[in-house]
Each structure stands twice: as structure tokens, then as C-alpha cells.
Amino acid sequence: MNHISAAPFLEDHAHLAAALPGGGPVAALRAAAAAAFRDQGLPHGKVEAWRYTRLKDLESTSFGRAAPAVVAAAPRGAGLAVEAVRIVLVNGRYAEHLSTPGLPAGVTVKSLCACLEAGDAEVLAALDGGADFAQAPMAALASAWLEDGAVLSVDAAVAVAPIVEVVALAVGDTPAMSFPRLLVRLGAGASLTLVETFTGPAEGVYAVNAVSEMVLGAGAALKHYVLQAEGKAATHVSLGRCAVPENGRYEGFVLQLGGKTARHEMRLKMVGAGGEAQLNGAYGVRGEAVCDTTTVVDHIAPETTTDQVFKGILDGRSKGVYQGRVQVWRDAQRIVGNQLHKALLLSRAAEVDCKPELEIYADDVKCSHGATVGELDGDQLFYLQARGIDAVTARALLMRAFIGEVLDTISDEAVRAAFAARADAWLDAEGAKR
Amino acid sequence: MVSTIETVETVHEFTGAYKYGFVTDIEMDVAPKGLTEDTIRYISAKKDEPEWLLEWRLKALTLWRKMEEPTWAKVDYPKIDYQDLHYYAAPKNRSDGPKSLDEVDPELLATYEKLGIPLKEQEILAGVVAVDAVFDSVSVATTYKAKLEEKGIIFCSFSEAVHRAPELVKKYLGSVVPQGDNYFACLNSAVFSDGSFVYIPKGVRCPMELSTYFRINAQNTGQFERTLIIAEEGAYVSYLEGCTAPQRDENQLHAAVVELIALDDAEIKYSTVQNWYPGDAEGKGGIYNFVTKRGACRGKRSKISWTQVETGSAVTWKYPSCILQGDDSVGEFYSVAITNNAQQADTGTKMIHIGKNTRSTIVSKGIAAGRSDNTYRGLVRVLANAEGARNYSQCDSLLIGDKCGAHTVPYIESHMPISTIEHEATTARISDDQLFLCRQRGLSPEEAVALIVNGFCKEVLQNLPMEFAVEAQKLVGISLEGSVG
Amino acid sequence: MSKGLIVTDLHVSIEDKEILKGVTLAVEPGKVHAIMGPNGGGKSTLAHVISGRPGYTVTGGSVSFDGHDVLEMEPEERAALGLFLAFQYPVEIPGVTNTTFLKTAVNAQRKARGEAEMDPMAFLRLLREKAKLLYLPDDMLKRPLNVGFSGGEKKRNEMLQMAVLAPKLAILDETDSGLDIDALRIVAEGVNAQRAPDRSFLVITHYQRLLDYIVPDVVHVLADGRIVETGGPDLAKQLEKTGYAEYAGTAA
């Protein structure tokens, strides 16, 4: 298995892409992306970055492009239970009528389609600038079909008070792939709390291939929380990219609870001195599902700090994957980069694969990584039981504590509570089974 | 071992930076360049091997021809022309083999003297170490045979074992590292020249450290030694391997295979000090060291412990591993890898937990200086039946200077909830404060670096047998010469 | 050849900022000089420059010890001459035991002076004897250098190194900082036990407290990079009352 043909995903590309919005430069970008995906094929286990995660459904089932869909109202519970300005994408396309009317001062939202049609060079540059198709085959596929999405901009020095949530909703009843695309631009000194929520039909077979780019001006601060709550039969692949500039702040959290095969990859580039980033997350995976969290942190500029903590709970015959790479470039001195992954295995049939990686070319650095895999602590369990707490409750308590520790790092209180509620609901389904 | 150490120091004073960089001028019996079935028949015939072994080699060649050289390691070297190498080299006039040390070419003995293994002295120095010295491809002299034979221990060259203990060789050869395991192991299986063979019978504790010195002498010869160590139930052996090579401008290939088998309650301790020629400061010359070392803890409560100090070679590609099959078996890997100038090392271990309550410990200390690249690559895999398995890994890197790279690539795969895996890694550098403190107390910058790095490596070095530890500590200092100031 | 430490019109900068602006000082063998002064006045800089710590630029003046121009020498060469610095913040070196460190240092200095290495047993005896005087338990000698030591233990460990290395001039850089009164007394006793006709001390401190125990022959006040006053032990006592406020003006 050295190559899995890209052909089914690019059927009639030249012809169909010609009908997509935007002029020559957009078409060129699509063609380059399609060529890159064709060269690499669908990623598989022989590709180091995809060593542990096979996109099995994509290998076996033919997924067409998800068609535009008209949805009268967003389904209940699609978004996060927080007060927020909502931007809704349905099958990857901007749905203005579902989105919150009226935006805070200094914030603009446009459909990507409109930007492409208008030939917005800045938008195109931002999409193209982040493209590294040779290292991101699935993002190349998404760019090959670049059509729509949301472009969210915050003016310089504007501190956006409300949370902005982008809901990527998948609908339809045939196996199809949608390409939600988000571009977020923060002016210098601006700040924003952004939630990305991915959801779709609870039972239906579908695929989501999302790409989010975040462009920060000097000193900008972004809180970026991702909730992956896809349906049980979904294949979810997403790639987030953010370059953290001089004195920029990035706080990320990825909570993955859904999907049959899910992979979220976050790439951070620390490009300005004094930049700081925290990238944490948690996942719960059970049944036959596979959940992959991959991070790539590049310390390009000196005096940058990153910190990562991920925790996972695995049950059934599931598989959890954490791959984290921290790179420190030559001459990027005075770097701090820490990384930790802890996994809790609840079942003998579950599997966890972990690859925390350090690649360091500068000497004035303090980098570390840690990884642990194990079951619930027997002593703790016994201690609780000895105090009269039954085994099921005790287990649930310890699991909540395990996940809670990392959820507590979410600085936005409303999001923290809402994410904790989602994690609790996932754990409750767990407790009920036992 | 005082005399040995003195010899080593004397040599260092003579030769400067790479103290083993001397060439011995001895007439050699050399196979023509190139690798074909004829080459293998030539080697096999020279060694008077049985038919089955020739077939075994030929099968390996067939497999090897279909394989591709691996590219996943973080090492970069020009393409090797495998048809431009000699696959066999042996000192001439030895068809009968020396019966005693007196018959060994005096120049050869002088070489070993320079290496710090004065055979003659050791024979006098009653039973500390038994040495099987491998000079290029043929084992030259094996000391202490008689004493070991009393206990039923077989310690001889691999070629000799083929005739002395054919059943054991046939049973265990390739049983841990099969012919087609990987590109370099497969090449070794086809053309291996010589190596050591150790057999410790049931319940026997080997009364002395067994030691082999490997040395690559001839030009354009690849060294492909093959070592096989079998510890029967309840047996114990500690084996030391030292490697050096002369200084040459061309790169020399070294692709060894080591297989260890430990049965119930057996313990094998395998220590290596690898000091092959690393090439000059500009990266010219040096050994390509592509080694497959693997131990199988087949028996219950068996234990295999690898300790390595890797300071030499231009390119190192080496992952001494343990397959923990027997319940309650134990695997250990203690490693110091030092790279300086243009050296590249990609080294680590694999711990495969199969049996219940298997335990493994990994302690890796990587030190990168100059323009070198130093990578730890390791795998811990806990399979579904390995209930109660435990692993602890600690990988620390130390960078000296801002032109080198230190990398840590651990793979952790668990299929078993009732198991514990802990992995920690850190990267740091020698602080200016530490250097200044040492200098304020009177140490030169070189002495300061050697002291600090030895402290950094202490957990590993203390696992080495005494006489090796002293040598290793000195090597740490020598390897890092010129890295500061 | 003039004995002892002679600092003449020493000017020192860090990254173009002048810290010492012409310091002149002479410490004869057997004498104890104290250097007091406000924080930021240049006390530690003086200690570091004399011992050769990198990061300072000497822009003028000279430092000689027993007739040697030490500014031209490497830190280890100065150490071999008999210059010892007790660090304000003792450094940790993981994996290197106290004993190994000191043995290596003693032998490096002996080698530099053309002396034979010390007999290991004799060294251990010396080490134990000196440790006992400083109330340092034996197990601390086996522990890695300063790793996991308390603040007081680290300072006492500096005194142990001084006692074993037996320098001709010991510079104590705020050795009293962070010590409680008992630890202070132990440190002072350690210093007093070392006082000898051929050994001098440069005691750097912010507080007069230490000088109650180590009575100096001469007290200097270093403020804004200059020695602004020199006197006897009484000067320290007077400063205890008045503080450094009167020298603040010179800092401006």
C-alpha cells in the first residue's frame, strides 16, 4: 500500500472546478492543490504523519462533494450552549440566514465565495500563504474544491466582547464530503474568543474535510476552542493553522468526542519574539472509533513559549492517537516548549498510540515532553470505595477529575462550562453502560 | 585492570584526537570486490561451512536484492555502492589458526596492545576478562577457553561455533533477527564474516566478563560480524563489546547483527563501547555503523540488559531491542550517545511487551556538539496480553553549541489497560553558570565539559562494568574535545 | 613582587553600561576587607571581574594578585593562583557528586601548580574533617553538587569548597544572603577558622550583620561604581544606623 489513488476524489475536477467561483488565481490555486493531492494520494499508514490513522471509509466508499443544502433552521443543540455570535456553514457553505444578524463593532463576516468572486487578493493570499500541500494532503484536497466558507475579520485594537462561534453543520443522507473553510484575521492588538463547532447527522455516513487559517497581527490575542461533535459514522479531518506573531497570544483547546474516524491537526508557528501559545485538549473515544489529535509546533522566532497538555479516555475497541511535534529552528534561542499526553484505557480491546517528538536545532532551549498510558488508579478507586462510594460513581468521579484537570485550563468561563458539560454527557453515556 | 588503563593512556598521548587511528600492516586474504552469489560461496567455502548455512546465506541474498535501503532515520549519507566493497578480509597464513598466543602475528598483538587489551598481560592477570578478539573478519585468539570449558561454557568465534556447536547455531541463528528483518540485517545474513558465539548452560553463572574487541583494519572492507549469545535456564553472562577502527579518509561500512536468547530465569548483560572512527572535523571519512541488536527474553523471569556508550562512527543507526515474551521478563536499555563535529546518530531501542508483568526501563542520554545531529528513536509496544506491563522511559538531550541538533522521537503503542507506560524527555544545554563555576574552581573548559557531561550520563555509565566505565568516562571527554571555547 | 590583591582604577561595563567607574583597592595577605554598599552599586560585578566571569568588559584599570595580571588570565588559571569565589547563587550540576567535583577541582589546581595529584584516601579524610567543622552530614558529600540542597546547605557547601581548596584570597559574594542566624554563625565560624597570615578575604555584603561575626580589618563602601568611603569596623556599625541614603546622591 504505497499509494491510494486520489482519482475518486478528483473525478472530473478540471471540468467541475471551472464552474466554481473566482478568477484565474483561484483556479490556479485549485489546480495546484489538485495536482498535489493526486501526487500523494489518500494518506495511509506508510506516510509517517498518518502512521496510526487510516481513513478507512474514504478508502472503501465513494464520497462525492456535498451538495449545497437549504436548511430552514439550525437543529437544536448544533451549537455550543453559550451566548455567542453565530456564523453557520452548511455543508461548508456560508448560511447567512442561519447566522446571527448584527455584529459587534469592528467585526466583519463575509462569505468566502463572495471574496473569491470579488477577487479579494488579501483573502486569496491568506489562503494560499498557509498552503503547504506537500505536507497536508487532505488540505490540498479541500483546496482543490475551494468554493465557500466564512471570512471573519477583526479590526486592529478591537477587543471583541462576545464569543464568536462558527458552526460547521453537515446535512444530507448520501455519503458526501464537505469542505468547511474558515479564515480568521485579527488586526494588531485585537482580541477574540472563537469557537469552532463541527456537527452533523448522528447516524449518517458523511465526511468533513475542514481547513481553518488564523492570521494574527502583532500583539493580537486569540482564544480558539474547537469542539468536534460529529455523528457516529462520520469521517472528520480538520487542519488548523495559526502563526503567532510578536507578543501574540494563542490559547487553543480541542475537544474531540465524535466521529468514527476523526483527526484534528493543529499547526502553530511561533514567528515573533515574545509570542506565547497554549494548546490543550481532550478526547473521548469508544466503540470502533479512531480519534487522532496531531499538533505541530514550530518555534521559528526566539523567546517564544508553548505549552501543550492532552488527555484522552478510550473504551471499547477504539483507538486513540496523539502525535505532537515540537520543532525549534536554528537560532531560535531562549525557547520553552512543553508537551504532555496522558491516556486512560478503560478496555482491553482499546489501543492508544502516542508519538511526542522533539526536533531541536538551538541550544538555549528548555523543552520537555511526557506521556503516560494506564488505567484508573486502583488505589484511588479503592480509597473512594472505602469511603462508601460505589464503584461506578467512583470511576466516573475519577474520570471527570482526569479530564477536568485539562478542561480547567480553558480561560473562558462560559466555554469551559459548556465543554465540561459535553465531556460529562460523554462520560455519562460511559457510566450508564457499566 | 590498571595496566590496561595505562596502555590506553599511553596510546592517547601518542595519537592525539582519535587515539585508535592507526593502521596495522599485515598481509590480508581478501575477496574480490562486489556482492554476488559467488562472493557468498567464496566466504562460505573459506570458512568450510556446512551446506545448510550456505543455503541460509543465499536465501538472505535473494531477499536483500528485493529490499530497499531504509530512509526513515534522521541520517544523511551518500549512497553506498554495495558492489564496490570487499566482503571478506582475513590475515593470511592462518589456515591452521594459532594454537596459542605465541603463534599469533606479533604485529597483531601489538595492535591489541594499542587498543588497550594486552592479551598476554591478561593471561597473567588471572581470570578477569576473557577476550575474543575479532580482527577484521576472523577471530584471532580466544583466551580462557579452558577455564570456561570446565563449566560447559562455549565462548568462541562464530565460525568455530558452526563446527563445534552446529545444532545450537542452526537452532538459534536468525531466530531473533530473521534474515529479512531489515535491509542491513539481511545484508549481514548473506555475507557475515565472523563474530562471537556464547553458550551458557543451564544454571551456570559465567565466572568472568566475556569481552570482544572489534576492529576494522583493511581498506574498503565492510565488517559484518554476527554474534549469538544463548543463556539457558538460570544462566548468567555479562558480555562486553568494544569497537574501534583506524583513521581513513573513505567511509567504511559496518553492518553487524547481534542476537541474544535468554530462557527461564536467565540473564544477559550486554555492554558496548562503540568508538569507531567518527571522521575528521570536516566530516570526511568515518564508519557507517548500521547495526541490528535484539534480545529475546523467551523464558519466564528472564532479563536482558543493554548498555551502550556510542561516541564514534560518522553515522550510527542502531536500536538494541528486547522482545519480552516470557512472563515477568525484564528489558533494559541504558544509552549514552555523543555526537560531535559532523557525526550523525539515530539510536534508541524497542521494547515489545508480550508476556504478563513484563517490565522495561529506558534511559537515554544524548549529547550533541559541533554540527552534529543526535536522535533518540524508540518504540514501546504493549500487546493485548501483556497484563501488568510497565515501562519507564527517560530521554534527556544536552546541546553544546548552537549548530547541532537534538531530537527525540518516541513511539508509544499500548493495547493493554492494565499496564503503565511513562515517558519523559528533556532538552537543555550546559549553562554558562555551570561552566564558570567549574573554571572558578580550577578546571579547564574541556575538563569542565567532561565533568558536567559525565554527571549528565551518570545513570548510564554506572551500569557499565568497572573497567569499561573508566574507559567510557575518558571517551566522553575525548569525544567532546574542541566543542567549547 | 607585590603580595595580595591590587585593584587599580578599574572600569567595567556590561553591554556598554558602565558599572564600575574607577575602583581602587588593595588587600594585603592576612587581611579581611569588607565591601558594603547599596544594591546595584557594583559589589557583585567587582567579585565577578576579579574571578573572571564572562560577560563583563574591562574598559580600564588593572587587577593584580601576587604580582600577576589576572585580567589576562582564564578563570581556572586565577583559581590555581589561589583566588576563590564563593557564589551568591551556588550552581547545581546534576549527576556530579560533591566529592567528585571537589576532588577534580583540587587535582586540577594541583596539576596547574605542578604538584602531584592528591592521594584519594588523604583527600577523603580532609573532606570529611572539613565537612564536620561545617556541620555538613557525610551523605551530602555523596549527593550531586547543590542539587536539592537548601539555601543554607548551598552556602555551607561553598564554605566547604573554600576550606578544601585553601585559597590565598577568598571572595565571599553576599554569602550571608538568605541565611538564618544559625546558618550565618556556622558560615562565619567556617571563615574565621580559615583566617591565616597568608590568606586574605574580601567579604561582600549588604548588611552589617555578617560583620558582627567576621570582624573585618577594613570596610569599604561601594556605591555607583566607586569606593566612596573606607574605614575600620566602626564604619560598618555606623552604616547599620544611617543606611546607604547618604550615598544615594552619588548614584544619580
B210-220 pLDDT, tens digit per residue, is: 887 655 555 54
**Given a contact as 3+ CB pairs under 8 Å, which chains touch C?**
B
Estimate the share of chain C in helix, then strand, then coil, as percent rounded to the nearest 5: 40, 30, 30
* B429–A351 C-beta distance less than 8 A: no
* B437–C79 C-beta distance less than 8 A: no
pLDDT band at A271; cut points 50, 70, 90: very high
d(CA B382, CA B412): 8
Q: Which three cell numbers stand for residue B204?
A: 551456570
Angle, alpha carbons A298-A299-A304 (nearest 5°): 140
B441 reaches C (C-beta below 8 A): yes
- B437, closest residue in chain C (CA to CA): C91
Give percent of chain A above pLDDT 70: 98
Positions of E strands within A257-304: 261-270, 276-285, 290-299
d(CA B393, CA A370): 9
| pTM exceeds 0.90, yes or no | no
Residues B362-412: tens digit of each pLDDT: 999 999 998 999 999 999 999 999 999 999 999 999 998 888 999 999 999
- Please name the amino acid found at residue B143: T
pLDDT greater than 50 at residue B3: no
Classify residue C52 by its DSSP letter.
T
Q: Å from B159 to nearest chain A CA?
A: 39
pLDDT greater than 80 at residue A383: no
Instruction: With beta carbons less than 8 A apart as the criterion, state whether B480 and B449 touch.
Output: yes
Classify residue A102 by its DSSP letter.
S
Buried b (16+ CB within 10 A) or exposed e, C220-238: bbbbbbbbbbeeebebbee
Q: Is B150 in a helix, a strand, or coil?
A: helix
Q: What is the mean pLDDT of residues B200-218?
A: 78
* C94–B447 C-beta distance less than 8 A: no
pLDDT band at A149; cut points 50, 70, 90: very high
pLDDT greater than 90 at residue A432: no
* C101–B432 C-beta distance less than 8 A: no
Find the range with the poorest average confidence among C45-54, C80-89, C237-246: C237-246
* C165–B452 C-beta distance less than 8 A: no
d(CA B431, CA B429): 6
| ipTM of the prediction | 0.84
- C166, closest residue in chain B (CA to CA): B441
More confident residue, A110 or A431: A110
pLDDT greater than 90 at residue B136: no
The pLDDT value recorded for residue C248 is: 62
Q: Is C128 in a helix, a strand, or coil?
A: helix
C114 reaches B (C-beta below 8 A): no
pLDDT band at B6; cut points 50, 70, 90: very low
Q: What is the mean pLDDT of residues A113-134?
A: 86
d(CA A400, CA C141): 46
Q: What is the mean pLDDT of residues B335-351?
A: 93
CA nearest neighbour of B356 among B396, B395, B383: B383
The pLDDT value recorded for residue A433 is: 47
Length of chain B: 485
pLDDT band at B123; cut points 50, 70, 90: very low
The pLDDT value recorded for residue A409 is: 96
User: How many CB atoms neighbour CB A45 within 10 A?
Assistant: 11
More confident residue, A291 or B276: A291
- C89, closest residue in chain B (CA to CA): B433
Strand pairing report for A351-360 and B405-414: antiparallel
pLDDT greater than 70 at residue A401: yes
Positions of E strands within A71-162: 84-90, 93-94, 107-111, 150-154
* B417–A347 C-beta distance less than 8 A: yes
Find the range with the poorest average confidence among A53-62, C45-54, C238-247: C238-247
B252 φ, ψ (degrees, to nearest 5)? -115, 145
The pLDDT value recorded for residue B20 is: 57
Length of chain C: 252
A200 φ, ψ (degrees, to nearest 5)? -170, -170
Q: What is the mean pLDDT of residues B341-362?
A: 95
Q: What is the mean pLDDT of residues A357-386?
A: 83
Q: What is the mean pLDDT of residues B175-182?
A: 93
**Pure H helices in B128-213:** 145-150, 158-164, 166-172, 183-191
Q: In angstroms, what is the C-alpha Rg of chain B? A: 21
* A363–B404 C-beta distance less than 8 A: yes
d(CA B295, CA B351): 10
Q: Å from B449 to nearest chain A CA?
A: 15
pLDDT greater than 80 at residue B91: no
* B455–C93 C-beta distance less than 8 A: yes
Q: Which three cell numbers stand for residue A58?
A: 474514504
The pLDDT value recorded for residue B2 is: 30
pLDDT band at B120; cut points 50, 70, 90: very low
List CB contacts of C248: < 8 A, sequence separation 6 or more: C38, C223
The pLDDT value recorded for residue A86 is: 94
Q: Å from A284 to nearest chain B CA?
A: 15
Positions of E strands within A17-101: 64-65, 84-90, 93-94
More confident residue, B414 or B148: B414
Out of A351, A358, A362, the one facing B402 most closely (by C-beta) is A362
User: How many CB atoms neighbour CB A169 within 10 A?
Assistant: 25
Strand pairing report for A84-90 and A163-169: parallel
Residues of C in contact with B459 (CB under 8 A): 95
Give percent of chain B above pLDDT 90: 48
* C95–B458 C-beta distance less than 8 A: yes
**Given a contact as 3+ CB pairs under 8 Å, which chains touch A?**
B
Strand pairing report for C57-65 and C68-69: antiparallel
User: How many CB atoms neighbour CB C177 within 10 A?
Assistant: 15
Q: Å from B396 to nearest chain C CA?
A: 12
Q: Which residues pair with B423 in a beta bridge?
A: A371, B393
Give percent of chain C above pLDDT 90: 58
- C53, closest residue in chain B (CA to CA): B436
The pLDDT value recorded for residue B144 is: 67
Instruction: With beta carbons less than 8 A apart as the criterion, state whether B165 and B60 touch.
Output: no
The pLDDT value recorded for residue B14 is: 36
Mean pLDDT value across chain B: 82
pLDDT greater than 50 at residue C199: yes
CA nearest neighbour of B331 among B339, B323, B341: B323
Of A13-17, B327-331, B470-474, the range with the highest mean pLDDT is B327-331
pLDDT greater than 70 at residue B105: no
- Please name the amino acid found at residue C60: G
Residues of B in contact with A356 (CB under 8 A): 408, 410, 423, 425
Q: What is the mean pLDDT of residues C213-228?
A: 93
Residues of B in contact with C91 (CB under 8 A): 431, 433-434, 436-437
The pLDDT value recorded for residue C151 is: 86
d(CA B284, CA B277): 11
pLDDT greater than 90 at residue A64: no
Classify residue B27 by its DSSP letter.
-
d(CA C75, CA C85): 10
DSSP B371-389: T-EEEEEEEEEE-TT-TTE
- Please name the amino acid found at residue A16: L
A6 φ, ψ (degrees, to nearest 5)? -85, -10
Find the range with the poorest average confidence among A124-133, A299-308, B166-175, C78-87: A124-133
Cα dist from A395 to A312, A380, A381, A398, A406, whole Å: 15, 9, 7, 5, 18
A near B: at least 3 beta-carbon pairs less than 8 Å apart: yes
Kind and range of the H or E run holding C12 = strand C5-14
Length of chain A: 434
The pLDDT value recorded for residue A76 is: 76
CA nearest neighbour of C198 among C35, C73, C54, C30: C30
Q: What is the mean pLDDT of residues B408-420?
A: 89
* C74–B439 C-beta distance less than 8 A: yes
* A362–B412 C-beta distance less than 8 A: no
The pLDDT value recorded for residue A3 is: 84
B near C: at least 3 beta-carbon pairs less than 8 Å apart: yes
d(CA B317, CA B313): 10
d(CA C69, CA C73): 7
C near A: at least 3 beta-carbon pairs less than 8 Å apart: no
Q: What is the mean pLDDT of residues B344-353?
A: 95
Q: Which three cell numbers stand for residue B28?
A: 590480508
d(CA B192, CA C71): 60
d(CA C204, CA C196): 19
C145 φ, ψ (degrees, to nearest 5)? -50, 110
- Please name the amino acid found at residue B170: K
pLDDT band at A148; cut points 50, 70, 90: very high
d(CA A289, CA B67): 35
pLDDT band at B165; cut points 50, 70, 90: very high
pLDDT greater than 70 at residue A159: yes
Q: Å from C248 to nearest chain B CA?
A: 31
- C-alpha torsion angle, residues A85, A87, A88, A93 (rounded to 10): 170
The pLDDT value recorded for residue A269 is: 95
* C100–B441 C-beta distance less than 8 A: no
The pLDDT value recorded for residue B300 is: 97
